[in-house]
Structure formats: C-alpha cells, structure tokens
C-alpha cells in the first residue's frame, strides 16, 4: 500500500532519507512469513488433507523438507522482498514506512490452505505517511511487482541453465534446485501479475493512476512471464 489516508499527521522526515526497520515491523514480517510458509506448504503438498486431522498432522509433523524449503524460499522472495521494496523506496523518498501484518486475514489464509487447498494471501501492507506525490505513489507501488518480476526472471534463467547443461537435471526427485527454482518462478510471476490488477488496494490501481503506459508495460511483462512459466517451461 503506497498511502494510508487514515493517518492525517504529516511525518515527512527532515534531512537525508534513511532506511530503518523497527522491532515491531520485523516481528510482523516474521509472523506473516511463517504463516504464509505453512499455508503454501499445504498447497504444494500432494497429500489430500480435506478435513482429515490425521492427514493434517502428518504434513505438520512429518513434512517433506523439499516442500517446506520451497515454500519458505517462495514466500521469502515473493512476499518479503515485495513488501521491503515498497518500504525502501518510500523511505528513500523521505517518508515513514513500515509493514503491518493483518493477522486476522492470515488466519483465514491458514484455514483455506489447510482444509481447502486454496491460497488466499492477504498478509498485510506497508503503511506510509508523508507528503506522497502521485509519481512517488506510482513508483512505490510498482517497486513490489517489479521485484517479483526480477526474481521470477532470475529463477527462470537459472532453471534453464541447469536444464540445458546438466544431463541429470530433475532426474533425482530429491534434487532441490529444479523444484525450488520452478516454484519460486511460479510464485513470483503470479504475485507480480496479481498485484498489478487495478482493483481496490492492490498496487496496479495506483500505478495505472500515475502512468498508463508504464502500467501497460508492467502488466504485459507480468502476464507474459506467468504464461511462459506455467505452460512453456521444460518439466522437472
């Protein structure tokens, strides 16, 4: 979120911009990351849990390390880097900016992932206070999806290098790299595209309001990459 209208106090910093994280903000980031990692593990895990408490306990107590690690890396890059990108650019412009988790929505996310195998991710937002101009608002909002897009491109590149240079790429199901890189590319390309939807509090609405050409370019790149990752990547 690039601007919070519920705060009327002007907290625009005097002096040079600074990058800082408060202990409360780090706690909120960590809590949201843990919740999203658990939720995404249930999405990736091949076992059908449904309302079977025994199956749910099996995923929690005897998790597949590959699934857990992929979930963690996917959420760390897709969620944490996305929010930190918003925050850092806002602070570079001299504004107060901190992430706050929406713990009630994270509870819904965990329930939906555990019982329905659906990822309803609404972890929270970066709250920003200060004299935010329309251009700053657009660029701050664009920073998150841009980071997701960059991570997805790097993951796709690393995956393709491994696929075309290693004869054993993806042969061993315990091999971490192919599964993780493909998962990270899928998560980040999806988040980039989703967050650019011009609706409600999503980033796309603010980017579109600032510059239609930039928005169109960013959305086209996100859709193109998501389709390529989903349908045209060589299989593991």
Active site residues: 83
In whole angstroms, what is the distance from residue 80 CA to residue 148 CA?
10
Measured CA to CA in angstroms, residue 29 lies from 65, 83, 144, 148, 161 at distances of 22, 9, 15, 17, 33
Measured CA to CA in angstroms, residue 224 lies from 74, 211, 220 at distances of 20, 20, 6
In whole angstroms, what is the distance from residue 145 CA to residue 100 CA?
18
* Lookup result for tokens 């996917």: 74
In whole angstroms, what is the distance from residue 221 CA to residue 165 CA?
27
Q: CB atoms < 10 A from the CB of 163, how many?
A: 17
Count of alpha carbons within 13 Å of 155, Cβ hemisphere only?
29
Contact 24, 105 (CB under 8 A): no
Tokens, residue 136: 């700053």
Q: Chain centroid to CA 43: how far?
A: 15
């Amino acid at each position: 979120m690039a601007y919070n209208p519920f705060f009327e106090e002007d907290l625009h910093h005097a002096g040079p911009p600074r990058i800082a994280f408060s202990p409360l903000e780090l706690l909120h980031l960590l809590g949201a990351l843990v919740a999203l990692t658990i939720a995404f593990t249930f999405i990736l895990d091949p076992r059908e849990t449904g309302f079977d408490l025994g199956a749910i306990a099996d995923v929690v107590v005897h998790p597949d390390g590959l699934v857990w690690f992929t979930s963690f890396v996917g959420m760390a890059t897709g969620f944490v880097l996305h929010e930190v990108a918003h925050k850092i650019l806002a602070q570079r412009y001299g504004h107060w900016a901190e992430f706050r988790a929406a713990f009630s929505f994270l509870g819904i996310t965990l329930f939906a992932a555990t019982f329905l195998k659906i990822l309803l991710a609404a972890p929270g937002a970066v709250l920003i206070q200060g004299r935010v101009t329309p251009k700053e608002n657009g660029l701050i909002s664009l920073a998150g999806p841009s980071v997701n897009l960059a991570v997805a491109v790097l993951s796709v590149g690393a995956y393709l290098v491994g696929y075309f240079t290693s004869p054993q790429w993806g042969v061993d199901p315990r091999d971490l790299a192919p599964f993780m890189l493909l998962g990270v590319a899928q998560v980040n390309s999806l988040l980039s595209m989703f967050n650019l939807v011009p609706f409600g509090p999503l980033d796309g609405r603010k980017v579109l309001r600032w510059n239609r050409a930039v928005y169109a370019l960013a959305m086209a790149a996100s859709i193109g990459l998501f389709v390529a990752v989903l349908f045209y990547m060589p299989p593991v």
